[in-house]
Chains A and B, each alone.
Chain A
Amino acid sequence: MHRTGELSGQFQTLEQQKESATLGMWLFLSTEILFFGGLFLTYTINRHTYADVFSYSSRTIKLSWGAINTVVLIGSSLTMAMSVWSAEVGKKKLVTFFLIATLVLGGVFLGIKGIEYHDKFVEHHVPGLGFDMYYCTKNPGACNLRPEDLQKERVELDELTKKMGGETAVNANSQLFFSLYFGMTGLHALHMIIGAGLLLWLIKQSMAGRFTTQYNTPVENVGLYWHFVDIVWIYLFPLLYLIDRH
C-alpha cells in the first residue's frame, strides 16, 4: 500500500477492496463472539450452581465505578460513531477530533478499571494472590470500606457461611466468581488496549489526511471493532455487578 486510498495489488477495484475488508472484520467479530462465548458459558453454569455465593461476591464490587465506566464506554461508542460519520462526509478535522475523544474515553475506562483492580487487590479478592473473602471483616481497617458497609458485609457473610457450611466452601466458590470476573474483564480490557492501539494508528493516518469520502474503510472497521468491545461490556456489567443489588 502506498498513497491515500491506493488499491492493493491483489484487488481490481476499490469497492472490492472495501467489501473484502468489511467482510473480514465481520468474520473476525464472529470469531470473537465464540471466543467470549466459552467464558460466558462457564460463567452461566457456575452462576447457576453457586447462586448465593455469586450474588454475595458480586455485591462486594463497588457499583459506582462500574456504572461510571458503562457511561464512559457508551460515550466512547458515540464519539467513535461520530468519527465514522465525519469520515464518510469528508470532514477531515472532525475525524481526528472524534478519534482522539474516543481514545481519551477509552483511557478513562482503563484507568477506572485499574482503580477497581487495585481495590480488589487490597481486599484480597484476587484469585491466586492470598485470596480470602473474610480478609476485610477479619482485619477491620485494612480495606477501604465505610464502617456501615463493613458491618453489612459481616452480617451477610456470616449468613452465607452458615448456608454453605463453612468458610472453605465460600472461599472456593467465590474464588470461582472472581476468577471469572478477572478473566472476563481482563480479556475485555485487553481488547480495549488493542483498540486503543488501533485508534492511535488511525489518528496518525487521519492527521496525515488519508481518510476521504472514497477511502475510509479503516475508520469504519475499527469502529465496528470498538462497538463490539462496548457491547461485550454491556453484557459484562449486569452479569458481574448487578446480579443481586437492592
Chain B
Amino acid sequence: MSTTPPKPPGYQLPEEHYLNATYGIRSWLLTTDHKRIALLYLASVTFFFFIGGIFATMIRIHLLTPAGYLVTPETYNKLFTMHGVAMIFFFLIPSIPAVLGNFLIPLMIGAKDVAFPKLNLLSWYIYITGGCFVLYSFATGGLDTGWTFYTPLSSVYSNSAVTPAVIGIFINGFSSILTGLNFVVTIHTMRAPGMTWFRLPLFVWAQYSTSIIFILGTPVIAITLLLAGLERMFHLGFFNPALGGDPILFQHLFWFYSHPAVYIMILPAMGVISEIIPTFARKPIFGYTFIAASSIAIAVIGFFVWAHHMFLTGESTYAALAFSLLSYLVAIPSAVKVFNWTSTLYKGSISYDTPMLYALGFIGLFLIGGLTGLFLACLGLDIHIHDTYFVVAHFHYIMVGGAVMGYVGGLHFWWPKITGKLYPEFLARLAAVILFVGFNLTFFPQFILGYLGMPRRYHNYPPEFQVLNVMSTAGASILALGYLLPMIYLTWSMRYGKVAGRNPWPATGLEWTTASPPLTENFDVTPVVDWEPYDYKNRPDLGLQTPTAPTLAPAHGDD
C-alpha cells in the first residue's frame, strides 16, 4: 500500500475546502463553521463513548460469575451509574444532533451556516464544561445513584460525588437547549429558494422534532436536578419525605424530561434511516408526509407518557391506565415509520452497502425494542418485569440497536461528504455484521434473564442465571470489536481512503451537490431547489438511467 492517497481518474479533492481553509489549533477552537463544530463534537462524543464503554466492559466482566468477579458491590453501583450518565447525557443525546445534525442541516437546506454560528460554538463549550464537571465527579469518588438520580438517595444518602455530577448535567442541558434553538430557527429561516417544508429531507424533519423536545424538555430536567442539588448542598426538603417533601415528585419531573429524551435519542436515528433506505433502494421514500408527520407526533405524544416509568410507585390506577394507553398510542407513529421503510424497500433495486446494512439492522432491532416497550407499557405485565433485565434489554435494543446503529450507519453514509474519502467497503460490511451479531448476543439473553426475574442494578445473581450472563458477556466482547473496527478504518481512511467525489452513492439530497469535503461557505452559489425529495426518476444528473436499473454502482473504497 502506498503512503500517498491514491487518486482514481475523474475524482479530485477540491483545492480548498473547510478542512484546509485555515490551519492551527486556534482555527478549530474558535471556529464558527458548523462543519468544524460538528467535528469537535465528533471527537468529544467519541471520547465519552470510550469512557462509557470502559465502564460497560467492567460491568460485563463482573457479571461473569454469580458472586461477582471484579469489584465490590459499592463500586458496582458506581460502574453502572457512570456508564449510564456518560452514555446518555454525554454520548447518545448529543451524538446525532450535534455531530450529523450540525454538519448536515445547513448543507441539506442550502444555507451557508446555521442561524447563530457563535451560539453554536458556545454550545460546544458548554458541553465541554458540563463534561469536565462530570469527569471530575467520576474521578473524585464516583457516582452511585443510578443515572436516574432518584431522591432521597441522591440528595441525602449517597456518599459519592453527586454535586459536581448534577452541576455538570445541569450545565450540559443548556448545550442541548441552544443547539435545539439554533436548529429550529435555522430550519425556519435559512432554507434556500425552492426548499419548501415538504421538500425538506426527512432527516431535517427528525432534527426539527428532536429540537422541539430539546427546547421544551431539557429545562425541566435542568431545574429538577438543580433542586436536587440544592437539596443536597443546603439540606432543603423539596424531595425529602423526612422534611415534608415528596420523592415521587422528583420522579415525575425527572421522567417528564427523560421519557421525551428517549425520543431525542431515537428520532434523529430514524431520520438517518429515512435518508439511507431510499438511497440504496433507488426509490422515492414511501409516504413522505406520513414519516415527517410521525416525527412531530412522536415529539408531541412523547411528552404525555412519562408516568409509565412509575407504575409501581403507587400512582392511582386511573392515572396508570391513562399513561398505559398513551404509551400504546406513541407506538403508532413509530410503527408508521417502520411500515413506510419496508414499503420503500418493496420492489426497490437494493444494494447492500454498509449504510444499508446498518439501516436494515436498525429496522429489525428497533422493532424488537419497540414491541417490548409495549410489553412494559402493559400494566399487569410491568409488575412482573419492572426493574428487571427485561427493561435493560428493551432500552438497549432501542438505544444501542436503534440509535447507535443509526448513528454509525449515518457516519458511514456521510463520511465521504465529511472527509472527501471513501472507507474500505469490505471491512465496513464486516464490522456491521460483527456489530449486529455481537449486539444480539449481548442483549437478547437479557430479555430472558429479566423475564426469569433477574433484577437490574444488582452486583450478584443466583447461579442458575450464569449461562445467560456468560453469553451476554461474550457478546459484549464481540460488540466491542465491532466498535473498534470502524474507529480504526474510518480514521485510516481520512488519509489513505480513495477520493469520493461529490456524490458517491449517488443520493438525491442537496448536500451531495456540493464538493466533498464542502467549502467553508458550503455552496459556490446559493442553490435553487426545483426537484422533489428522493426523486430518482427525474434526476438525470445522478447518472442513473432508469429508476430500477442503476448504471452507476455505488463507489466503494476497495473495488
Give the B-binding residues of A (Cβ under 8 A).
Answer: 9-12, 16, 19-20, 23-24, 27-28, 30-32, 34-39, 41-42, 45-46, 49-50, 127-128, 169, 172-173, 175-176, 179-180, 183
Contact A38 B237 (CB under 8 A): no
Taking a contact as CB atoms under 8 Å apart, the answer to whether A24 and B185 are in contact is yes
Cα-based distance from A12 to B192 in the complex (angstroms): 10
Asked if B7 CB lies within 8 Å of chain A CBs, one says no
B223: A residues at CB distance < 8 A: 35-39
Tell me the smallest distance from the CB of B158 to a CB of chain A, in Å.
19
The 9 closest A-B pairs by CB, nearest first: A35-B219, A38-B223, A128-B234, A10-B113, A34-B219, A179-B236, A20-B115, A20-B189, A172-B244
Q: A128 and B235: CB pair below 8 A? A: yes
Main DSSP-derived SS at the B contact region: helix
**Given A31-B181, A37-B220: A10 touches B249 (CB 8 Å cut-off):** no
CA distance A183 to B224 in the complex (A): 12
Q: Is the CB of A27 within 8 A of B243?
A: no
| Given A172-B243, A179-B237, A183-B227: A38 and B181 interface contact (C-beta under 8 Å) | no
| Cβ of B37 under 8 Å from chain A | no
Taking a contact as CB atoms under 8 Å apart, the answer to whether A38 and B115 are in contact is no
In which size bucket is the chain B interface? Answer: 35 or more
Could you count the A-B residue pairs with CB atoms below 8 Å apart for me: how many are there?
A: 109
Give every chain A residue within 8 A of B234 (Cβ-Cβ). Answer: 127-128
Contacts of B117 in A (CB 8 A): 10
Task: Looking at the assembled complex, report how far the CB atom of B514 sits from the nearest CB atom of chain A, in whole angstroms.
Answer: 16
Contact check, A179 vs B238: say whether CB atoms are below 8 A apart. Answer: yes
Judging by beta carbons under 8 Å apart, are B219 and A10 in contact?
A: no
Q: Report the nearest A residue to B182, measured CB to CB.
A: A24
Bound complex: CA of A28 vs CA of B215, how far in Å?
A: 8
Majority SS at the chain A contact face: helix
8 Å CB contact of A24 from B111, B115, B243, B249: B115
Residue B295 interfacial (CB < 8 Å): no
- Contacting pair A10 B114 (CB below 8 A): yes
A-chain residues with CB within 8 Å of residue B245 when the two chains form the complex? 46, 176
Chain A to chain B contacts (Cβ below 8 Å), 30 pairs: A10-B111, A10-B114, A10-B115, A10-B117, A16-B190, A19-B188, A23-B188, A28-B181, A30-B216, A31-B177, A31-B215, A31-B216, A31-B219, A32-B219, A34-B217, A35-B219, A35-B222, A37-B219, A38-B220, A39-B223, A42-B249, A42-B253, A45-B246, A45-B249, A127-B235, A128-B235, A172-B242, A173-B244, A175-B236, A180-B238
B219 touches A183 (CB 8 A): no
Q: Judge if B471 is at the interface, Cβ distance under 8 Å.
A: no
B338 proximal to A (CB < 8 A): no
A38 near B253 with CB under 8 A, answer yes
Find out whether the CB atom of A175 lies under 8 angstroms from the CB atom of B190: no
Once the chains bind, are A20 and B216 in contact (CB under 8 Å)? no
Nearest CB in chain A: distance from B473 CB, A: 40
By a CB distance below 8 angstroms, the chain A residues around B253 are: 38, 41-42
Task: Give the contacting residue for B190; candidates A20, A34, A46, A176; CB below 8 A.
Answer: A20
Besides A11-B190, A45-B246, A49-B246, 5 other A-B contacts (C-beta < 8 A): A10-B114, A10-B115, A12-B526, A42-B249, A176-B244
Complex Cα gap A175–B223 (Å): 19
Bound Cα distance from A179 to B235, whole angstroms: 10
- Chain A residues within an 8 Å CB radius of B222: 35
Q: How far is the CA of A172 from the CA of B181 in the complex (A)?
A: 40
A42 to B247: give the CA distance in the assembly, Å. 11
A27 with B215: CB separation less than 8 A: yes
Q: Assess the B237–A27 pair: CB atoms within 8 A.
A: no
A27 to B188, CA, bound (A): 12
- By beta carbon, the residue of chain A nearest B236 is A179
B218 at the interface (CB under 8 A from A): yes
Inter-chain contact A16/B189, CB cutoff 8 Å: yes
**Is B435 in the interface zone, CB < 8 Å from A?**
no
What's the minimum C-beta distance from A135 to chain B, rounded to whole angstroms?
18
Which of chain B's residues has its CB closest to A173's CB? B244
State the Cβ distance, A10 to closest chain B Cβ, in Å.
Answer: 4
B184 on interface, CB distance cutoff 8 Å:
yes
Q: Is B480 an interface residue (CB 8 A)?
A: no
Quick one: which of A19, A24, A46 contacts B116, CB cutoff 8 A? Answer: A24
Is B112's CB within 8 Å of the partner chain A?
yes
B109, chain A: closest CB distance, angstroms: 12
Q: Which of A38, A41, A42, A172 has the most CB of B within 10 A?
A: A38
**Are the CB atoms of B227 and A20 closer together than 8 Å?**
no
The interface centre, meaning the residue of A28, A34, A41, A50 with most chain B CB atoms within 10 A of its CB, is A34
Nearest opposing residue in chain A for B233, CB measure: A128
CB neighbours of A10 from chain B (8 A): 111-115, 117, 190
Q: In the bound complex, how far is the Cα of B177 from the Cα of A31, in angstroms? A: 8
B122: CB under 8 A from chain A? Answer: no
Whether the Cβ atoms of A183 and B230 lie closer than 8 Å is yes
